[in-house]
Structure 1
Amino acid sequence: MKQLLVFFICLVLVSCHDIERPEKPKDLLSKDRMVEVIIDMTLLTSAKGSNKFELQENGIIPKEYILEKHRVDSIRFAKSNEYYSYDVEVYEAIYQRVHDSLEKLKTKFTRLDEEERYSRKKEDSIKKTSVLNGIKVKNELIKDSLTKPLSKIPDSLR
């Protein structure tokens, strides 16, 4: 058993030894473009988790849709991704920008959602007040008609 473990450790060390930096692709995506594509892929993948049926119903395959939107083929994206991922610091910087952008979007949509809820709540309270005022007015009319002296009621109704 020990010999097998030592063999696997040696195999891992030897296999990781000669990793060469990938060649820079001729059609390398810029870092900015990579950030945009990854942001869209992340958003659509999240939507896929919550709205899978709607995406299928509309014939949307998330990865294909994003690559088509950005006019990037899958090979170009894969080669660019491989090139940038070799340098961990560059790749981390790209993903930090993705994270920051997603956080800004989250903040923006949270704020918009809160404003929409506040607006709906305000509209509901206005409708509620209008309804209550309408009932109040009707109740006062009823009270007035019940409290009027009989002398003011026409003779035909007495």
Structure 2
Amino acid sequence: MGKTITFILILTLFISCKEELVQKPDRLVEKDVMVNVMVDLSILEAIKYQNPASLDTFKINPRDFIYKKYKIDSLQFAKSNVYYASDYEDYKLMFEQIVKRLDAKKKSADSLVNLEKKKKNPILSKKKKSTLPTRDTTKLD
């Protein structure tokens, strides 16, 4: 009798672990769109903290801007985020995609900044040549 109860408890435990922890929301944001939203939010939040005046000048709330851009609302985003976060491995892959895209955008921005610096200071981009006269030491006087 004890073995049967133990077996049923273990079986119940395995079956319950396979259930979804979070039910799929009615208006789930697609995974690709969710990645785009998170990339854009990351960029706008970084701008907000690096140069808050730039967003304040235009009275832009980063989250509201993104919600309008992707035609979603905050509740839809929050429920979709919780749903995707309930699957750790899949959520981790999403964040890897986000990091890769942010790194690519950072490299692109860095190259544009370097290009602008070269345009403003062409002297710095070229190697400075020595202005001292050189003396040929192979000839004997």
Q: TM-score if structure 1 supplies the norm length?
A: 0.62
Q: Structure 2: where are the runs of 5+ without partners?
A: 1-16, 126-141
Percent identical among aligned pairs is 32
Q: Calculate the aligned-residue CA RMSD, in Å.
A: 2.2
Q: CA offsets, 1:49-72, max 9 Å, x none?
A: 122133223221111111111111
Partner of residue 66, structure 1:
66
Distance in 1 (CA, whole Å) between partners of 2:91 and 2:20 is 17
The amino acid that maps onto 2:73 is D
Q: CA offsets, 1:25-54, max 9 Å, x none?
A: 222111110110001100110111122133
Structure with greater helix share of residues: 1
Distance in 2 (CA, whole Å) between partners of 1:86 and 1:46 is 26
1:57–1:113: structure 2 CA closer, same or farther, 3 Å change rule?
closer
SS of 2:121's equivalent in the other structure is helix
Q: How many residues align?
A: 108
Q: CA offsets, 1:45-100, max 9 Å, x none?
A: 01111221332232211111111111111111111101000001111111110000
Instruction: For 1:16-95, list aligned pairs within 5 A.
Output: 21-95=21-95
Deviation, 1:123, is 7.9
SS of 2:119's equivalent in the other structure is helix
1:110–1:54: structure 2 CA closer, same or farther, 3 Å change rule?
closer
Partner of residue 98, structure 1:
98
Instruction: For 1:70-149, list aligned pairs within 5 A.
Output: 70-122=70-122
1:57–1:118: structure 2 CA closer, same or farther, 3 Å change rule?
closer
Distance in 1 (CA, whole Å) between partners of 2:121 and 2:91 is 44
Q: TM-score if structure 2 supplies the norm length?
A: 0.69
The amino acid that maps onto 1:36 is N
Shifted more, 99-108 versus 27-36: the winner is 27-36
Q: Which has the larger radius of gyration?
A: 1
Q: Structure 1: where are the runs of 5+ without partners?
A: 1-17, 126-158
Distance in 2 (CA, whole Å) between partners of 1:26 and 1:41 is 23
Partner of residue 136, structure 2:
none
The amino acid that maps onto 2:70 is H
SS of 2:120's equivalent in the other structure is helix
